[in-house]
A and B are shown apart, each in its own frame.
Chain A
């Protein structure tokens, strides 16, 4: 990986992200928005203009949230693939999404728990319990015990269990069901400034923490014995990494619901572009994740215009074939 090429990759991805973001702000609106209105609403905001108000109050927070969601999920997937040395590891594959969704379903439907904790905390706890169970079943905490297939199977099993429990909770509390189902599918349609305000401080902290973890992730790729030998504190790295994953995924799911496949696909795309060094490819993965979710969000308004398709569903359409490709390509 040469530096000029790396710089070029970052620059091109950033330009693509900005372009898609700008397009996202005016495209596929029920009330037509002109491209130049976007610029005007940012520079000369006119509170009388409906299109200015749509851009400022609806589109902009939605776009910013979409970008951050993409960066967070791509980062969480990168950390998980690094910690487990498993190319199939991702929040949605290893049960964290399903666990977090179950946590939120419990808090938002059961009267006993209602108001007991915030939804993001519930998502983090739910995701954390699921992740812990998957790691124990897949025996990934023990040194040397890292059977790749077993970890993924454990993830699938725990995901199915959490999904079943979530459905049971939703059926029991029917009046809350519609809301729960919306964020189970993962949609950015309801992201407002309030969502953004609760989301960005935690998300940025998680992204920054992930950058700090990258040198250790590099050494972990040499196997745990070599990592240990080179001075990596294995337990501390794994705990810090797991905490970051839960922070990133928990806050993301409580903001926009369960969006899958970003965490699985994007780290592989970034590796293909700039190589295996985590310090180099994590920033690229963040930008690519942001780009992909922004694109999916724009398409979510286009596919069944003027209705909305959840962005999570669109990403699943792209992600599922990619997942199958990975399973076939790699020996587990």
Chain B
């Protein structure tokens, strides 16, 4: 109910990518946005995070146009982890994570006792506490991604938006991150993440949103959404659906390469 799109169109340079979309994201769920490259899932996420404006229609928060809220107020409600992070020079891990408290601090950005506690707690939770005196620029890619996650978590928002958080991680770190997100979700956060790995989404998330060519195609639990028909329609892929032997969630196995269809440009 809290985050929704109403006839929302979003795009860049006059080109519409998300087209008149109607979507309501359920509260309290661990949601994956899925779809082929260029389907508009990241664009939609960026609009919810106020990085991109709506071309027409509205992105709404609590029933009101998201872009009408003051920046600082929304930054206590919604946090975004963008796809790529800059590598800031000369900033220590603990200082970077502390910036996550900016929405709560006074004008000068001075942290109080509670802020310090949250910062420390988030570093512990993401396994970055041991790195706190290191420079962010000295870390490995996986460590750096965890530090940025700690910063976004320090924002302490009920909603967390992530844009392909696992893209630059090896499989070990991917699993670790998805597991961590699952715990956060169980603690009450609504998590909305763009993912590419469908099986990963079905295993960890409890609500899938599938887009194609800027439109909403499927929405619901992994059981409802992850079907051979969906994979055929959205990804032009012949696949069988099996059970993940560990988690008993649905999982797709590609049958064979089907010839590329004209509308699927990859």
B-binding residues in A (CB < 8 A): 85, 143, 212, 215, 218-219, 221-226, 228-233, 271, 275-277, 279
In the assembled complex, the Cα of A218 lies from the Cα of B107 at a distance in Å of 12
Write out the residue numbers on chain A whose beta carbons fall within 8 Å of the beta carbon of B49.
225, 228-229
**Known contacts A219-B102, A222-B99, A276-B91; is A231 also within 8 Å of B71 by CB?**
yes
In the assembled complex, the Cα of A219 lies from the Cα of B74 at a distance in Å of 16
Contact of A230 among B51, B52, B102 (CB under 8 A): B102
In the assembled complex, the Cα of A218 lies from the Cα of B50 at a distance in Å of 20
In the assembled complex, the Cα of A77 lies from the Cα of B51 at a distance in Å of 27
Identify which of B78-86, B119-127, B226-234 touches chain A.
B78-86
Q: Is the CB of A231 within 8 A of B72?
A: yes
Q: Is the CB of A223 within 8 A of B89?
A: no
Q: Which residue of A lies closest to B78 (CB)?
A: A229
Q: Is the CB of B71 within 8 A of A232?
A: yes
Q: Is the CB of A230 within 8 A of B82?
A: no
Q: Is B88 an interface residue (CB 8 A)?
A: yes
In the assembled complex, the Cα of A279 lies from the Cα of B106 at a distance in Å of 14
13 CB-based A-B contacts, threshold 8 Å? A218-B109, A221-B86, A222-B96, A223-B82, A223-B85, A223-B86, A228-B50, A229-B49, A229-B152, A229-B155, A231-B75, A231-B103, A279-B109
In the assembled complex, the Cα of A222 lies from the Cα of B90 at a distance in Å of 12
In the assembled complex, the Cα of A275 lies from the Cα of B50 at a distance in Å of 31
In the assembled complex, the Cα of A299 lies from the Cα of B72 at a distance in Å of 49
Q: What 0/1 readout, one digit per residue, does chain B (98-114) give for beta carbons within 8 Å of chain A?
A: 01101100011100000
Counting from the closest, the 10 A-B pairs by CB-CB distance are: A231-B75, A231-B72, A276-B90, A223-B86, A225-B82, A215-B109, A230-B102, A229-B80, A231-B103, A231-B71
Q: Is the CB of A226 within 8 A of B82?
A: yes
Q: Is B95 an interface residue (CB 8 A)?
A: yes
The interface residues of chain B, by DSSP majority, are classed as loop
In the assembled complex, the Cα of A223 lies from the Cα of B80 at a distance in Å of 13
Write out the residue numbers on chain A whose beta carbons fall within 8 Å of the beta carbon of B102.
215, 219, 230-232
Q: How far is the CB of A57 from chain B (nearest CB, A)?
A: 41
Write out the residue numbers on chain A whose beta carbons fall within 8 Å of the beta carbon of B152.
229
In the assembled complex, the Cα of A233 lies from the Cα of B72 at a distance in Å of 8
Max chain B C-beta neighbours (<10 A), residue from A143, A221, A230? A230
Q: Which residue of B lies closest to A276 (CB)?
A: B90
Q: How far is the CB of A272 from chain B (nearest CB, A)?
A: 10
Max chain A C-beta neighbours (<10 A), residue from B74, B79, B82, B102? B102
Q: Which residue of A lies closest to B52 (CB)?
A: A143
Write out the residue numbers on chain A whose beta carbons fall within 8 Å of the beta carbon of B52.
143
Q: Is the CB of A228 within 8 A of B71?
A: yes
**Known contacts A230-B100, A231-B102; is A225 also within 8 Å of B80 by CB?**
yes
Q: Is the CB of B80 within 8 A of A279?
A: no
Q: Is the CB of A230 within 8 A of B103?
A: yes
**Known contacts A229-B79, A230-B99; is A221 also within 8 Å of B88 by CB?**
yes
Write out the residue numbers on chain B whose beta carbons fall within 8 Å of the beta carbon of A218.
99, 109
In the assembled complex, the Cα of A85 lies from the Cα of B87 at a distance in Å of 12
Q: Is the CB of A231 within 8 A of B82?
A: no
In the assembled complex, the Cα of A223 lies from the Cα of B49 at a distance in Å of 14
In the assembled complex, the Cα of A224 lies from the Cα of B50 at a distance in Å of 11
Write out the residue numbers on chain A whose beta carbons fall within 8 Å of the beta carbon of B108.
215, 279
Q: Which residue of A lies closest to B87 (CB)?
A: A223
What 10 new A-B contacts, CB under 8 Å, besides A212-B107, A231-B74? A224-B51, A225-B82, A226-B86, A226-B151, A228-B71, A229-B79, A230-B99, A231-B75, A276-B89, A277-B95
In the assembled complex, the Cα of A233 lies from the Cα of B74 at a distance in Å of 12
In the assembled complex, the Cα of A225 lies from the Cα of B42 at a distance in Å of 13
Q: Is the CB of B75 within 8 A of A222?
A: no
Q: Which residue of B lies closest to A236 (CB)?
A: B71
Q: Which residue of A lies closest to B50 (CB)?
A: A228
Q: Is the CB of A230 within 8 A of B75?
A: yes
Q: Which residue of B lies closest to A211 (CB)?
A: B108
Q: Which residue of A lies closest to B161 (CB)?
A: A229
Q: How far is the CB of A31 from chain B (nearest CB, A)?
A: 49
Write out the residue numbers on chain A whose beta carbons fall within 8 Å of the beta carbon of B88.
221-222, 276
In the assembled complex, the Cα of A218 lies from the Cα of B109 at a distance in Å of 10
Q: How far is the CB of A9 from chain B (nearest CB, A)?
A: 16
In the assembled complex, the Cα of A232 lies from the Cα of B107 at a distance in Å of 11
Q: Is the CB of A219 within 8 A of B99?
A: yes
Write out the residue numbers on chain B whose beta carbons fall within 8 Å of the beta carbon of A233.
71
In the assembled complex, the Cα of A222 lies from the Cα of B86 at a distance in Å of 6
Write out the residue numbers on chain B whose beta carbons fall within 8 Å of the beta carbon of A143.
51-52
Contact of B155 among A212, A230, A271 (CB under 8 A): A230
Write out the residue numbers on chain A whose beta carbons fall within 8 Å of the beta carbon of B50.
228-229
Q: Which residue of A lies closest to B102 (CB)?
A: A230
Write out the residue numbers on chain B whose beta carbons fall within 8 Å of the beta carbon of A222.
86, 88, 96, 99
Q: How far is the CB of A238 from chain B (nearest CB, A)?
A: 13
